[in-house]
A and B are shown apart, each in its own frame.
Chain A
């Protein structure tokens, strides 16, 4: 068998996944702390203040990566849920459901930091603007997935129901993305482009990429840690969990 395929098959084994997650999660967190540390240092102390927004523009270095993560994590959650529904792969169920609280955390950061930025810039903490409202709906969707997953003791059927909600919820992502173009919006349009020229000054963009990479590492670490916790919960009572707990049989 192809070594990559063999590794994927091995990863489906709960004890193997537990060892894998326990080994790699701390490294992902360390990489996240290092990259985000550089990003935050540059954002707070190196980048010049914006000529219009002043120092409040420094908030965007956490707001924008968190907003991107809120949508990326939702898409990934739906992707894992689709695989879990079609091929009944337990690990994908676990990964999908582990995405939900992390995505909710990033969505909460997006809404809170956006609100804090909005107070001095827009003169209000909140506005029922299309971008803000759709992002709030995204948070409710995350909470719905978390709630559905914990509503039943039967983890597998609960994961299927919650996964279905995640798949249906994907329709919201393009609405969030294009809300600033489709409707009159207080929220500014796209200024940063992954492909193509950004309308942001090049001297101000480096910390943003550090934070984008850092949040990705953070997500990987958190996903492994949360999946490991759920894996242990599902496998409670198995010999390997008992051995891991330090209790010899």
Chain B
């Protein structure tokens, strides 16, 4: 009996789970930094806009 499919299957599971473990924090770090950048832009934008725009006629 050939055990090759079982060996390949087991090593594939190992690689796939570790790949997920490698990628998941990287994506989360990228998401956090992007959120921080967008937050900073939101804070800066009203200050850059015309302060009298909507309220003065």
A binding-site residues for B, Cβ under 8 Å? 29, 40, 44, 54-56, 58-59, 62-63, 66, 101-102, 105, 108-109, 112-113, 116-117, 119-120, 218, 222, 225-226, 228-229, 232-233, 236-237, 241-242, 244-247, 249
Contacts and interface: CB of A to CB of B under 8 A. Distances in A.
A119 B17 CA distance: 20
Contacts of B24: 101, 226
B50 to A, nearest CB: 22
A59 B5 CA distance: 11
B33 A232 contact: yes
Contact of A66 (B14, B33, B37): B14
Contacts of A56: 3, 6-7
Contacts of A228: 25, 29
27 contacts: A29-B22, A44-B7, A44-B11, A54-B3, A55-B4, A58-B7, A66-B14, A101-B21, A105-B18, A105-B20, A109-B14, A109-B17, A112-B13, A112-B17, A117-B10, A120-B1, A222-B22, A228-B29, A229-B28, A232-B29, A232-B32, A232-B36, A236-B35, A236-B36, A237-B36, A241-B33, A246-B37
Contact of B17 (A59, A108, A237, A249): A108
Interface residues of B, number: 30
Contacts of A44: 7, 11
Most buried by A among B18, B34, B40: B18
Question: Which applies to chain A's interface (DSSP): helix, strand, loop or mixed?
Answer: helix
Contacts, number: 102
Interface of B: 1-4, 6-7, 9-11, 13-14, 17-18, 20-22, 24-26, 28-29, 32-37, 39-41
A63 B10 contact: yes
A6 B11 CA distance: 43
A44 B20 CA distance: 23
Nearest to B11: A62
B21 A105 contact: yes
A156 B21 CA distance: 24
A40 B12 CA distance: 12
Given A63-B10, A102-B21, A246-B37, A225 B29 contact: yes
Nearest to B39: A237
A246 B25 CA distance: 19
A225 B25 contact: yes
A237 to B, nearest CB: 7
A249 B40 contact: yes
A63 B26 CA distance: 26
For the complex of A and B, 7 pairs with smallest distance between CB atoms: A247-B40, A225-B25, A245-B36, A56-B3, A229-B28, A245-B37, A232-B32
